[in-house]
Amino acid sequence: MRKINLGLIGFGNVGSGVIKILRERKSYLKDKIGIEISIKKICDKDTTTKRNVPIEKQLLTRNADELIYDPHIDIIVELIGGIHPALELISEALKKGKNVVTANKALLAQHGQELFALAFERGKNIYFEASVGAGIPIVKALRESLIANRFNSIFGILNGTSNFILSLMSRENCSFSDALKQAQAKGFAEKNPSLDIEGIDSAHKLVLLAYLCFGKFIKLEDVFIEGISAVSLSDVTYAHELGFEIKLLAIAKKEGSELEMRVHPTLIPKTHLLSSVNAVNNAIYVSSDLAGNLLFFGPGAGQLCAASAVVADVIDLIQDIKAGLFRPTLNIMQDISIKKLRSIDEFESRYYIRLMALDKPGVLAKISGILAKLGISIASVTQKEKHKAHIVPIVMIIHNAKEKNLRNALHLIDRLDIIKEKTVAIRIEEV
């Protein structure tokens, strides 16, 4: 075997980066693996716009069938994103005997189980390193380097856009809306940023990480998801005063025989490594029984760092083909000690609470009375300077409480005529 032919579907930012690496480091890679990687065909709906890498016109097509049905193409790289037509294209590629590399976290989170089963049936593989953390080698580490370990928890800062916004709010004292505008101006956030700021992108990645760690595919609708749009500059400031940073965390945690799966803004101690992960960087903090606690850190977005992970998957597949190996993605072992998914209602945590109340006698008594009736105890309470005329922020830290009880208490509190804005509650994790 002297040459492997590649077909690329999706010639956007990351796709261009993949071609750039394969072109500029062609000899370097050939010397390393002993095989030439040849780009046989590139498919994209836009074949006229110039990219930052020169490409011969005859390599370009708008018809993906030219790649999928070409018997000389060994590996299909899918980088178009989204569910359709990516699902159909990858399925057909597998049926035609091709291995697949993808960065499509949304597709794998929702249809990964069926695609991995199809790949297994056809004796082919799907590699997906770039789907989580861009160039951070977390997928390979979980699948291979930590194969002997059992996992206790995953805490991930998995979305660069949200982390950039929260970092700006924390370091430059700007509002959420101003930070979002800056993220959009720099190209870190889409015009419609909802997938990022509402936690959906992080949830897609969490589903994949949980599968790698616990061997279970959790449906996206079973993951509790809460975004960062309700986090104010005041909350970031008050969190600082209490010794915390606010981060959008994706959490998979084993508690006894139950697994928690959740994405939400979280107060974490400033002393923890995750609190110092800023800008568009990502980090995954994994707790395992043999290797202990490990932190994987790096840029969570960017053309070349994501393309680096795609190329690494291509090289791994080539090495497998060369050696005649078949390492199916479905060989992930299930943690049989996990019996059920824990409902968010049963989740317990400490909480940061910010209430906007009238500045009058008896306010704290009414609030604490409702909390006490639902078995919720207050660890600390601080009344801040007046926010508006006759309205003061009250910041509380709540001892461990069940989510259901806290939600019921806040519902009753927000109905009081002394409360003038919807109360903000943010979970606290000691990690």
Please indicate, yes or no, whether residues 354 and 324 belong to a single structural domain of this protein: no
| Domain contains 284 | yes
| Domain contains 198 | yes
Any idea what the CATH number is for the domain that residue 197 is in?
Answer: 3.30.360.10
**pLDDT tens digits for range 41-77:** 999 999 999 898 999 999 999 999 999 999 999 999 9
Tell me how far apart the alpha carbons of residues 43 and 80 are, in angstroms, rounded to a whole number.
Answer: 10
| Domain contains 19 | yes
Please indicate, yes or no, whether residues 223 and 95 belong to a single structural domain of this protein: no
Please indicate, yes or no, whether residues 291 and 151 belong to a single structural domain of this protein: yes
| Domain contains 192 | yes
Helix axes 233-241, 160-172, angle to 10 degrees: 70
Please indicate, yes or no, whether residues 394 and 415 belong to a single structural domain of this protein: yes
The pLDDT score that the predictor gives to residue 333 is 73
φ, ψ for residue 131, nearest 5 deg: -75, -20
Please indicate, yes or no, whether residues 182 and 307 belong to a single structural domain of this protein: no
| Domain contains 293 | yes
Please indicate, yes or no, whether residues 187 and 262 belong to a single structural domain of this protein: yes
* Average pLDDT for runs of 10 along the chain of length 431: 92 96 96 95 95 93 98 97 97 97 97 94 95 95 93 97 97 96 92 96 97 94 97 96 98 95 98 96 97 96 93 96 84 83 94 94 94 96 78 95 97 96 95 83
| Domain contains 190 | yes
Q: Give the predicted TM-score (pTM) of the model.
A: 0.96
Tell me how far apart the alpha carbons of residues 10 and 79 are, in angstroms, rounded to a whole number.
Answer: 5
| Domain contains 159 | yes
Please indicate, yes or no, whether residues 216 and 231 belong to a single structural domain of this protein: yes
Please indicate, yes or no, whether residues 144 and 117 belong to a single structural domain of this protein: no
Please indicate, yes or no, whether residues 310 and 290 belong to a single structural domain of this protein: no
Q: Is 205 a catalytic residue?
A: yes
Residue 250 is part of which domain span?
139-299
Any idea what the CATH number is for the domain that residue 84 is in?
Answer: 3.40.50.720
Catalytic residue among 105, 205, 247, 254: 205
Please indicate, yes or no, whether residues 209 and 295 belong to a single structural domain of this protein: yes
What is the tally of structural domains in the chain? Answer: 3
The pLDDT score that the predictor gives to residue 431 is 83
> How many Cα atoms sit within 13 Å of 332 on the Cβ side?
25
Please indicate, yes or no, whether residues 151 and 289 belong to a single structural domain of this protein: yes
The pLDDT score that the predictor gives to residue 327 is 84
Any idea what the CATH number is for the domain that residue 412 is in?
Answer: 3.30.70.260
The pLDDT score that the predictor gives to residue 332 is 73
The angle formed by the CA atoms of residues 70, 72 and 77, to the nearest 5 degrees, is 75
The pLDDT score that the predictor gives to residue 390 is 83
Q: What is the 3-state secondary structure (H, E, C) of 29-81?
A: HHHHHCCEEEEEEEECCCCCCCCCCCCCHHHEECCCHHHHCCCCCCEEEECCC
| Domain contains 337 | no
Please indicate, yes or no, whether residues 114 and 145 belong to a single structural domain of this protein: no
The pLDDT score that the predictor gives to residue 331 is 63
